[in-house]
Structure 1
Amino acid sequence: MKVYALDVVGVIPDELRNLTFLTNLNLGQNYLTGPLSASIGNLTRMQYLSMGINALSGELPKELGQLTDLRSFAFGTNNFSGSLPSELGNLVKLEQLDYDFAIKCGGPQITSSDQIVFERDDETLGPATYYVIATNRWAVSNIGLFSGSNNPQYTSTSSSQFTNTLDSELFHTARISAGSLRYYGLGLENGNYNFILQFAETAIVNSNSWKSLGRRVFDVYIQGDLILKDFDIRKEAGGVSFQAVKKEFRAQALENYIEIHLFWAGKGTCC
């Protein structure tokens, strides 16, 4: 049963519990609200259950532990609260569990056009500082001192309209670093994770002036592996600024955390 990306609004009907022969249910990318009913435990033949990117709230019901034939369960990008029920340990056939979050680098929390909540990341960082959010889900650290500046700034802002994206607001703020910028996902289940990194060049402008001549070049590591070498946002965007560039990767968490590292390796414009 597929009710995917149809902008359905409201609560999940309790009558769903009567579909006891259902094995695959996809409710993703809608605007479903309210809690997930305990009656979900009636669907004991369920193998694939997806309800990510909605506005569901409350705690996940312990009755999910009755779905012992479940192979895949996706519930990220909702407003669920509380701890995961220990009954999820009954799902011995589970192969894929989707835990996701997004970060609005250098700015306030926003919700994108596809209903992904980008958590705020507007704490002030200096040349050697770090910040861990209150929920301990993720952290950010910065190392590096900008030379020749008495008042260095570690975030940037822009009011421009950005191309190649439906969410120009995502790029109105950004973190910048003179050396090393790291993001950590914390307390994660070990396993494979998908990463989506989004960039845009805002300081080197599209004009026939010296302001267009700079080059921002850096390396990107995920879990210590170099996945982008000498990455130049503007070059990747076809030589233009204010255009979104999206990169997608997959990596594995082995010790319950993930690390994304953006590192200036001494190339590009110095000033």
Structure 2
Amino acid sequence: MRIENTAAVVTGGASGLGAATATALADRGAKVFALDLPAAVDRAQETAGVTYLPCDVTDGDEVRSAVAAASSAGVPLRTVVNCAGIGPSMRVLGRKGVHDLDFFAKVVQVNLVGSFTVLAVAAEAIAATEADGQGQRGVVVNTASIAAFDGQVGQAAYAASKGGIVGLTLPAARDLAQYGIRVCTIAPGIVETPMLATVSEEFRAGLAAGVPFPQRLGRPEEYAQLALSIIEHDYLNGETIRMDGALRMAPR
């Protein structure tokens, strides 16, 4: 599918994986709408071809408003990349007692329900566009994690939310096939994002040492490269792709 002269929505687009993807899409000629929380948008680095929109992906009205803006860009909305998410940890049963139930629900609400909300609302808008010569209208790329398969101690909520995204991928692809919309998921391993910026170099080196090859942390630009490959590869659909250097996470 062609990227040039189309519109794209990227959630979590003000930093990390989302910012790298928004930049990569803009560099390829897309009109990009980067959605993020207001504080993140205020800190975002201005990028040519990228319009930043404050949006909470758990708020359906805000998502509809953002998608409407992208749909009014004068070019067809073709691409959605869901990068918005949170990754806190808590044990099912810890020193302070049982896992906070509201906390569990919040992680699922942001990571899974938020991704589904953007997918569904954007799919409605994409389905209303004119198909290309191959019957294609668009593609949605969701972000899971290798925690969906190898969740560690303290990752019950996070792994459950990301596992839900993996489980969503195939049925969503089948649901949207009649409209010419593909759905795929990327499951990154340990990537250098703002969440890792606060840890020591020694700790980062320890994380990198556990990756079979290449023995380093992933880069946001590599996630963006994979997202663009999925968008342009018309026969990739209903698939979850691990991007992890063959890493399989230990229990802790």
TM-score bucket of the superposed structures, by smaller chain: 0.3 to 0.5
Flag the structure with larger Rg: 1
State the structure with bigger RCO (CA 8 A, min sep 6), 1 or 2.
Answer: 2
